[in-house]
Structure 1
Amino acid sequence: MSSTSTLTSTRAAPEPALPAARRRGRRRGGLNTPRLLWLTVPSLVWFAVFSVGPLVAMSVISTLRWKGLIYDPSYVGTDNIRHVFSDPVFHDALRNSAVQVAVVIPVMIPLAFMLGYHLSTRPRGYRLLSVLYFSPGLISISITGMIFYGVLSPNGGTNGLLNAAGLNSLAHSWLADPSTALPSLIAIDLWRGVGWTAVLFASRLAGVPGDVIEAARIDGAGRFRIMWQVAFPMVKDYVRTLTMLQFLWTLFTSAALILLLTKGGPGTSSTTLSYLVYEKAFSQSDLGYSQVVGVVLLLIGVVGMLLIRTLLRSPLEKIS
């Protein structure tokens, strides 16, 4: 009888559990197996082909005199670099790009943030306002060019309104005047970008805790002070990200609108670096010159992003 009970208790006894550290070690060791490294291969190949590859090709082509695929390239070393930096057209394009970025970014980001904060408070008709703000960013660049070609042409809407208001002296060819061609393009950039950037800011500001805003209001802070001294610091990382994206967007994508409206003119008054890359490569078949300008454009983009990141660092990042 006793032997039977002993045998039964022996069979019923559970197996000893593995130590917790040993189980964690097995899981951790499984994640570090070389087999899982193969999961990174597709992304590395993608990065090499579509990021590193074009950069290397751009650097190589910048040392060549090459008119295109059906022509044989010839190595010229640094001749293209000397040609670019001594070319007055490049100087004008560099100046115009600097003016464009220096106006668009400081105007667009604060204005979009204020509109976004207003939307985040959910005023009456905020859904309709969100749609209206976001709509310009949904219109294709070709349609935008057609719209503003009609608005800014000598017989277009702008001059028609000025003539109707008795301001005939202010009416002129906005896109054909060297003094107004670039400002007109900058105004179009602002029209396209402010609204949808404001909607993005509003979506981020909606995540700001309401009790923080309410506490500031109880302490006597006004709407303007709450917006800039309470809400802005809490979303500063998001502001920095959108500022960098808008900087790159303005710097690299201005060529399309210029091609549709002014083609860099009159003269070189609206030629930017991104348009100069296109013009030299596809209109003048000077790929070496074009890629030197492309390298300069890339370096300006990197330096600009680092500068924006430094200027818009959060207080915690500055302490660390």
Structure 2
Amino acid sequence: MTALTDVASSAATTPEPSPPPGRGSRTPLRERFPGFALPALVWYAVFMIGPVVAMVLIGFLSWPGMLVEPGFAGLSNFGRVFADEKFWAAAGNSAVQIVIGLPVMMVLAFLLAFYVVQKPRGHKVMRYLLFIPALISAPATAMVFYAILNPDGLLNGVLRPLGLDGTAWLANPSTALGAIIAVELWSGIGYSAVLIAARLDSVAPEIVQAARIDGAGDWRIAWGMYWPIARDFIGVVTMLQFLSMLFNSAQTVLLLTQGGPGTSTTTLSYLVYRKAFVETDLGYSQAVGLILFVLGLLGMGVIRRVLRASH
């Protein structure tokens, strides 16, 4: 008993062995992380936060051109914006573009992705083909669709032999905005489908096969099995495409219609471009840009809320 007590007491008083050389002196990663993140933080501050701050500041200035000294305008730019019929026409066009184009794009992208993950013949080639529109530049895309939609283009060439009158799709106020939406759908559906298909691939084929044995059809499998798994990811893709439609439509409009005829295809992002680079009204332009920025934040919040409600 005495021997056991002596052994226990000596073990209790024996100092712990020192750590191997080099290990105890290392600084924890969480303490060294700010140093690694500093370049990225500087880049983010300069190229992401900086333009937003500049946009806010310019939105409160009266600045009729880069060579003219700006003056403080207060809220007068926003007053001019809200009193301008062109702004409300652009806001309406952007709303139509998103309310119609975004749901159609995401539903078709999901259905295409579902078809691809069923691995039909040639499904690997199909993934590459779906991604091709994302690799084509905006000017090249605009040139192709101009050749299709102009009065002597491919679409009218197909319609006339069928006894249907052709139309100037890009010059008709009733069809021009629809043509712009069609171009953006063509550009975005395949890219979204490839991204969603990558998420749907995580579903084990054995589970799908078991569901088919139990009598589940394609519709039930798509919306009962694949949709719940991919819902959050589809939400992210939806937000990306929403922001693309809201902020990037200016290039398609500029290349195909320049906002016309009239204001029938003028969107908010194109209005920002036109006021800044054509009319050189920088204060007005950035006031619209700030409104567009707020609408983007609100839109993402609405999309998140809708997806949460669907859980």
With the length of structure 2 as denominator, give the TM-score of the two structures. Answer: 0.89
Give secondary structure in 1 for the equivalent of 2:142: helix
Q: Closer, same or farther in 2 for the Cα pair 1:198/1:32, shift >3 Å?
A: closer
Task: State the shift of 1:77 in Å.
Answer: 0.6
2: distance between equivalents of 1:179 and 1:303? 29
Secondary structure in 2 aligned to 1:217? helix
Tell me how far apart the structure 2 counterparts of residues 107 and 207 of structure 1 sit (CA, whole Å). 24
Amino acid at match of 1:31: L
For residues 50 and 213 of structure 1, the distance between their equivalents in structure 2, rounded to whole angstroms, comes to 46
d(CA) in 2 for partners of 1:32, 1:187: 49
Q: Could you tell me how far 1:271 is from its partner in structure 2? A: 0.2
Between 1:38-47 and 1:93-102, the stretch displaced more is: 38-47
Q: Give the letter aligned to residue 49 of structure 1.
A: V
Ranges in structure 2 where 5+ consecutive residues have no aligned partner: 1-14
Q: Please report how far the alpha carbon of residue 50 of structure 1 lies from its aligned counterpart in structure 2 after TM superposition.
A: 1.2
Answer yes or no: is 1:281 the counterpart of 2:276. Answer: yes
**2:104 paired with 1:98:** no
Residues 30, 192 of structure 1: alpha-carbon distance in 2 compared, 3 angstrom cutoff: closer
1:214 aligns with 2:212: no
What does residue range 281-300 of structure 1 map to in structure 2 within 5 Å?
281-300=276-295
Report the counterpart of residue 7 of structure 2 in structure 1: none
Give the Å deviation of 1:219: 2.6
Pairing 1:1-320 to 2, within 5 Å after superposition:
17=17, 30-33=28-31, 36-168=33-165, 171-313=166-308
The residue identity in structure 1 corresponding to 2:272 is V
Q: Number of residues paired by the alignment?
A: 296
Structure 1: distance between partners of 2:69 and 2:209: 69
Specify the code of the residue in structure 1 equivalent to 2:114: Y
**Partners of 2:56 and 2:78 in 1: how far apart?**
11
User: CA–CA distance in 2 between the matches of 1:174 and 1:129?
Assistant: 30
Q: Which runs of 5+ in 1 are unaligned?
A: 1-14
Of residues 271-280 and 47-56 in structure 1, the stretch that sits farther from structure 2 once superposed is 47-56
**Alpha-carbon separation, structure 1, partners of 2:101 and 2:26:** 50
Which SS does the other structure have where 2:263 is aligned?
coil
Query: C-alpha distance in 2, partners of 1:74/1:202?
Result: 52
3-state SS of 1:253 partner: helix
Q: Distance in 2 between matches of 1:193 and 1:30?
A: 44
Report the aligned-residue RMSD. Answer: 2.2
* Counterpart secondary structure, 2:259: coil
Contact 1:237 1:314 in 2 (8 A): no
Stretch deviating more after TM superposition (100-109 or 187-196): 187-196
TM norm structure 1: 0.87
Alpha-carbon distance in structure 2 between the residues aligned to 1:27 and 1:236: 46
Inter-partner Cα distance in structure 2 for 1:41 and 1:195:
37
Aligned counterpart, 1:12:
none
Equivalent residue for 2:6? none
The residue type equivalent to 2:308 in the other structure is: R
Taking the aligned partners of 1:87 and 1:259, their CA distance within structure 2 comes to: 21
